[in-house]
Structure formats: C-alpha cells, structure tokens
Structure 1
C-alpha cells in the first residue's frame, strides 16, 4: 500500500524568521492521523531567513538528521562542535543523554533544509555528532545506516537506513521492500511515479505491504527514501 501525503496538506508554521512545512505533527501543528511512520517521527521542510536561526536548545534520545538544500547553516553544540553545513551536506546528531545546540543562518540569503527525527532503539547513550557530504550520483546512495553496518554512511542508533535518490527524466529504478519492513519516500524536487502513483515536489508517501517498488522519474528528481522497521 502506498499512501500519498500531499505537499499542500502538510502542517504550516509561520514565525517571521522561519517558514516551515510539517509532514507529521510538530510544534503547534497536531493531526492525530499524521504522528509519524514507524520510527520516523519528524520531517520538516524549513526556510530560515537571513541573519536568524534556531537559538541554543536541547534534545535527548532522538536521532536528528539535517539536510541543507540551499545556503549555509552554522552549527554549535555543547560537545564543542563548531561547523558550517553547506548546501548538499548532511548532519546527524544522536542526542542520547542530552545535547544542546544552535543552528544559525549567518548569511545574507535564506537557508532551506530538511529536518528529520527518528526514534532510537537504544536510550541514554552518550550524545555524538557527525557531518558528511556525498557524491551526487544517479540512483540510491546510502546516507544513514545502523551502527557498524556501512562505514561510508552516517551511523544511527536504529534499524533504519536513509538513501538519497537522484533520477534523471525517464530514468527508472527498482527497490525491494522486505517482509515486515515499512518505507517512506520524501520527494525534494521533480516528479516521480512510485508503482504508478505520481508524486510532486514536497509530497511524501507512506509505504507498507509492498514487495517491490518501481520508481520512474517524470522530470529530473531528488528524494529521500527511508527503509524502516
């Protein structure tokens, strides 16, 4: 079963310095029908105004992935990490017993990003931080994988994998979905068909009880694919 989550039906947050679209319930947006999918709890598409951002705040026992789509985000945390995350880079924080951080746009143009939270399968471990860029290649690239499974990927404390997908117009790929697994696809740009169902930029799709997915690009497209327990 593939259930489309249309972009224009997502929740909205308008805060002056921040414009946000919420795939699942978050902050002041609540929808009992959209509380997450498997261990995937948050997908927010954020646009942060120039010279503003998320001031220092804390998290615990959550796996937090940030993908910067445009601009540069400046990171600082209580582990001592200070870094700029530029367009195309991924940041992963395992909050564990607790971490405080800030994410600021110090530039003169807006920053667009995806903010993604997954629940961990082990709690109260020491927090940690990782950041990486990946070569933009056609097909699926594993960005996040369970601890110790894929040295080239960012490590997560959960039996989950996240892939970045890039397809050119009319390009197609197939992806198996193993028994007992769920998936989510979040389309960043372009248009793709998932087993014939058309997704537009900003759309998501909850996927379960499928054995194989056929992804067909109608336009040049980029997406994130989540393989979930």
Structure 2
C-alpha cells in the first residue's frame, strides 16, 4: 500500500526566522488523524535564517535525528557537546531522562534541515549525543544506510527498530527499495522530482509505504531519505 502526501497540504509555520513544513502534527499544526506513522512521530522540514535558531530547551524520551540538506547546523547541549554539521551529515540525540539543547545556524546562508523524532522502545534511557559526517558520494545512485537499531550495523544506532537511508539518484536512473511483510517505510522527496510505482513526487512530498516494494525513477536528479520500521509500535 502506498499513500502520497502532497507537501502543499501539510502543516506550515512561518515565524520569520523559521519557516517549517510539518509532515505530522506539531506546534500550532494539529490533526488528530495525522499524529504519527508507526514509531515515526515528527518530520519537520525547517528553513532557518542565518544567525538565528532554537534557543536552549528541554527534551525527554525521544530519539532525535537531524539531517542537514543545505547550510550548517550547530548543536550545543547540557551534556557538554558543541558540534556543527553540514550537507548530508547527521546528528542524533537520545533525550532519555532529560536533556537541554540548542540548535543554531551561525552560517551566512539559510539552513535547511529535516528534524526527525522517533519514539524509543523504552523510556528512561541515559541521554546521549553523537554525529556522523557521511561522505556525500556514498549515497550517489545507491542507498546509504545511516541509522539502525542498537543491534544493527549502521554507523548511527538508536533505541528503536528503525533504519534510515539516504539516496541521491541521477536523472533517468532507477533503483529499488524492498519493504517486507510486517514492515513499512516513510519516504521524503527532499530535492528533485521522481515517479515511484506510478506516483509523481516533487520536492518536499512524502510517501507512506506499507508491505510493498517500490521502484524509484528519477525524473530529474533527486535526493531522498527513507525511514523503514515495523508496522507495530513497540
């Protein structure tokens, strides 16, 4: 089963310094029929103006993944971490029993990032932070496995049965992605346009995929992220 989510019909917010598209209910956008997809709770497609950002604020009991599309993201937290990442790189934070952090764009250009929240498999983990500077070419016309569960083999491992993949697919190329029985995935067309099993996607569209293999055809060079998980919330 596939369901396309048109980005023009998603929740939106414009605070001047921050412009956001919400794939799921968040902040002032509330839709009781659109709270989550499995353990995937949040995907916010954020544009953050230069020299602005999110001031220090708390989180707990959530696995938070930030994926930079353009620009530079600087993270600081109450565990003493302060790190910056750029295009195609990832930072992750297990909020666990509670952590304070901030996220800023100290660069000259607008920052575009995907903020993704995953419901953990248990509450009360010890807070943790990390980041990974993936080589951009490692996702060129092939799937780059970025995130897995604690027993998986991805460079980033979090407290839930999920897998994150990214891909840059050149124009007119095709690639498959299998979604087995008992599994589902959420795809974001980050950049470009594509056709996936007869569905036309443009930049910022989403696609729910349940127990169905997909074939992606890049109408123009395209950039994707896929979050694959169980059909059950653990």
TM norm structure 1: 0.96
Equivalent position to 1:187, from 186, 189, 192: 189
Unaligned runs of 5+ in 2: none
Q: Does 1:153 align with 2:155?
A: yes
1:1-229 → structure 2 map (5 Å cutoff) = 1-135=1-135, 136=137, 137-150=140-153, 152-210=154-212, 212-229=213-230
Normalized per residue, which structure has more strand? 1
Residue aligned with 1:214, SS: strand
Q: Distance in 1 between matches of 2:147 and 2:211?
A: 23
Q: Distance in 2 between matches of 1:7 and 1:205?
A: 10
The Cα of 1:107 is off from its aligned counterpart by 2.4
C-alpha distance after superposition, 1:145-182 (max 9, x if no partner): 011311x4211110000100221111111122111111
Q: Distance in 2 between matches of 1:16 and 1:190?
A: 25
- Contact 2:179–2:209 at 8 Å: present in 1 too? no
The Cα of 1:209 is off from its aligned counterpart by 3.4
Q: Distance in 2 between matches of 1:185 and 1:87?
A: 18
The Cα of 1:183 is off from its aligned counterpart by 0.9
Q: Distance in 2 between matches of 1:69 and 1:177?
A: 25
Aligned residues: 227
Residue aligned with 1:187, SS: strand
Unaligned runs of 5+ in 1: none
Q: Distance in 1 between matches of 2:88 and 2:168?
A: 13
The Cα of 1:224 is off from its aligned counterpart by 0.5
TM norm structure 2: 0.94
The Cα of 1:109 is off from its aligned counterpart by 2.1
Moved over 4 A (4+): none
Residue aligned with 2:61, SS: coil
